[in-house]
Structure 1
Amino acid sequence: MKKHYLITTLIICLTAFYGSLKAQETNKNYDEKLAKELNADEYGMKTYVLAILKTGTQKSLPKAKQDSIFRGHMTNIGKLVTDGKLVVAGPLGKNDKNYRGIFVLDVPTIEEAKKLVDTDPAIQSKLLDVDLIVWYGSAALKETLKIHSKIEKKSH
């Protein structure tokens, strides 16, 4: 009985070991050069910082001043994209949390992200505030900018 249990356990362990080896086979589509270019880890992932923009504390600026600040906000977004630091940005729909938009920043730390968002006139003026969270996502996300430029009929 003890011998039968030992053999059964051994078969289960070998099956599990073989299954884990098979599950970790290299992807036949793997492009080492692209993975390195995008700073991907072995799973094709990397660390970013997610910035959640929300309504700030400044509520009393004249509309003309707010409009000017938001033009600067859009210009700053363009600069961050050009500098390769902003991967995704966009507004959010109305919600009860006062969330206004998101940035996905191509930096690995909150400290680096803070330096970048502090360049934004809407954040400087307190029209927007920001929460920063480390996020682990596909390294291919950065490639969406190349695709977006091909489908964008009008620029901002």
Structure 2
Amino acid sequence: MKNTIFFLAFLFFSIIGFSQETETKYDEKLAKSLNADEYGMKKYVFCLLKSGSNTTASKEESKKMFEGHMANINKLAKEGKLSVAGPFMKNDRNYRGIYIFNVETVEEAKKLVETDPAIKANLLEAELTPWYCSAALQEIPKMHEKIAKTKM
């Protein structure tokens, strides 16, 4: 749920940002702190989570792995390594969710993916690709903490 809110918050603030016609001034200090390039952008790694090959895990095993999955998400977000994470709604493509890693290379993201118990157990599989987006995206976890009435 927390992950869905991260993603929805990002979309919401993106829409608001584009709909307002107020002139904003360039904040060099903020841009540098976020490692933004001249366009206010930076590299991330996008991760598409799909159903994995493990279809024999018991409900108890799956529950334990997904509890670890959620704990890992929270840990990576607190470390600043994960900017956005969230599940997909039911779909016919076996898509389960996304991560947007605040790292520059797929190799760095692979190391982070390997810390996820659900991926280790093959309940989920990760597909990684480089992504270029607003450097402000990494501020979502901080904003989310301020708007989440119930913590996960």
Measured after TM superposition, the shift of residue 28 of structure 1 is 5.9
* SS at structure 2 position matched to 1:29: coil
1:57 is aligned, of 39, 50, 53, to 53
C-alpha distance in structure 2 between counterparts of 1:61 and 1:94, whole Å? 20
Give the aligned partner of residue 137 of structure 2: 141
5 Å-filtered alignment, 1:1-156, equals: 29-156=25-152
> Considering only aligned residues, what root-mean-square deviation do their CA atoms show, in Å?
1.1
Counterpart of 1:74 in 2: which secondary structure? helix
Alignment TM-score, normalising by the size of structure 1 = 0.81
Letter of the 1:68 counterpart: K
Unaligned residue ranges in structure 1 (runs of 5+):
1-26
| Runs of 5+ unmatched residues, structure 2 | 1-22
> Hey, what's the Cα distance between the residues in 1 that align with 2:143 and 2:57?
37
Please name the residue that 1:18 is paired with: none
2-side partners of 1:122 and 1:28: how far apart?
43
Q: Which amino acid aligns with 2:50?
A: K
Measured in 2, the distance between the counterparts of 1:50 and 1:42 equals: 22
Amino acid in structure 2 at the alignment position of 1:117: V
How far is 1:155 from its partner?
Answer: 1.2
The letter of the residue matching 1:86 is L
- The structural deviation recorded for 1:82 is 1.3
Aligned to 1:22: none
Distance 1:82 1:151 in 2: 16
Q: Give how far 1:51 is off.
A: 0.4
CA distance in 2 between counterparts of 1:74 and 1:145 reads 15
Q: 1:123 is paired with a residue of what secondary structure? A: helix
Quick one: which amino acid aligns to residue 110 of structure 1?
Answer: V
Shift of 1:147: 1.1
The offset of 1:97, in angstroms, is 1.4
Q: TM-score, normalised by structure 2?
A: 0.83
The aligned residue for residue 20 of structure 2 is none
Q: Give the counterpart letter for 1:43 in structure 2.
A: Y
- In 1, the alpha carbon distance for the partners of 2:24 and 2:127 equals 39
- Identity of matched residues, %: 57
- Indicate the structure whose relative CO is greater, using CA pairs within 8 Å and at least 6 residues apart: 2
